[in-house]
Copies of this chain bind each other. A is one copy, B any other.
């Protein structure tokens, strides 16, 4: 099968201990002669030796590896985060493996367990709403991890999240500053706290501006499997019956079908309805008219979470909870 250290030992006539020491760059500090070192290195190339990390990690007790569990791989937000996390982790000598849970609790749990069984040194997790028990297990097992974007009540864990309340507030405030008074948003039927916080920010901004909260302007929708037809009828009714003049979209997944509807029925943006969307999206600027959006601090989130995770891996047991504000509102206008 694959070439092992034993093969190199045989090839060079040395012991496997000597070979291992050289291969790990501990040759000179272990009083291995230059000649021997060179001989091993030549053999390594000649035989095309590749270390078996299963064996190496088993013995060493760590893998230099991080698992990133994402709730939705098709969300550009997470992908950008993943890309930066990978780069940052590499700076510290860690490889990152990615896995997607499709917002499915069971899958999320399975992916985390899978990573743990393969003994990743730590995890970064964008958890699904029902995965709190796995998270608690990780805490009990003292496995280093950082929650990203999603968080839980009564769970004391490292986390890097957005200021969902503040950002939503800002978004709605923006709409109000544009003279909008009947502002709609979809309220998700989910336990995910960050969605609740967005809703709270929405309500607070209304209140602080003397606008009464109208439940009819916040139709509830399921968090998963959103039916575009349902969104379409909501959007139409909101505009036609409820006289909505502004939309605050809390996610890409509600923004997309809503915008499609707005375009399809040729509602004028922003003349007839103003729109702010929470998640930024590279395609928004390609739409005509392009869509105003909250810019998320993706870079910071990624950098911070890697920092925290590696600190935890290195034994820091102090829990840190970082809340990042939305960077700004990127205003875009029709051309």
Residues of chain A whose beta carbon lies under 8 Å from any beta carbon of chain B? 1-2, 48, 50-55, 57-58, 61, 63, 65, 73-74, 76, 79-80, 82-83, 86, 95-100, 102, 111, 113-114, 116-119, 137, 140-141, 256, 259-260, 263-264, 266, 281-283, 285-288, 335
Tell me whether A256 and B286 are in contact (CB under 8 A).
Answer: yes
A86-B98 contact given A74-B80, A283-B286, CB 8 Å threshold? no
CB distance from A252 to the nearest CB of B (A): 10
Cβ–Cβ < 8 Å partners of A111 in chain B: 95
Tell me whether A55 and B53 are in contact (CB under 8 A).
Answer: no
What 17 new A-B contacts, CB under 8 Å, besides A54-B55, A73-B83, A288-B288? A48-B141, A52-B117, A54-B57, A55-B58, A58-B58, A65-B118, A74-B76, A74-B83, A79-B79, A82-B100, A98-B98, A98-B99, A256-B283, A256-B286, A264-B335, A286-B287, A287-B288
Cα distance A52–B63 in the bound complex, in angstroms = 12
Cα distance A260–B332 in the bound complex, in angstroms = 13
Cβ–Cβ < 8 Å partners of A285 in chain B: 260
Tell me whether B286 and A53 are in contact (CB under 8 A).
Answer: no
Chain B residue, CB-CB nearest to A116:
B50
Cα distance A65–B117 in the bound complex, in angstroms = 12
Cα distance A58–B1 in the bound complex, in angstroms = 13
Tell me whether B2 and A141 are in contact (CB under 8 A).
Answer: yes
CB distance from A111 to the nearest CB of B (A): 8
CB distance from A47 to the nearest CB of B (A): 11
Cα distance A273–B263 in the bound complex, in angstroms = 21
Cβ–Cβ < 8 Å partners of A113 in chain B: 50
Most chain B beta carbons < 10 A, residue from A51, A114, A286, A335: A286
A82-B73 contact given A118-B54, A286-B256, CB 8 Å threshold? yes
Cβ–Cβ < 8 Å partners of A2 in chain B: 141
Q: Please give me the 6 A-B residue pairs with the lowest Cβ-Cβ distance, nearest first.
A: A283-B283, A98-B98, A54-B58, A53-B117, A97-B97, A263-B288
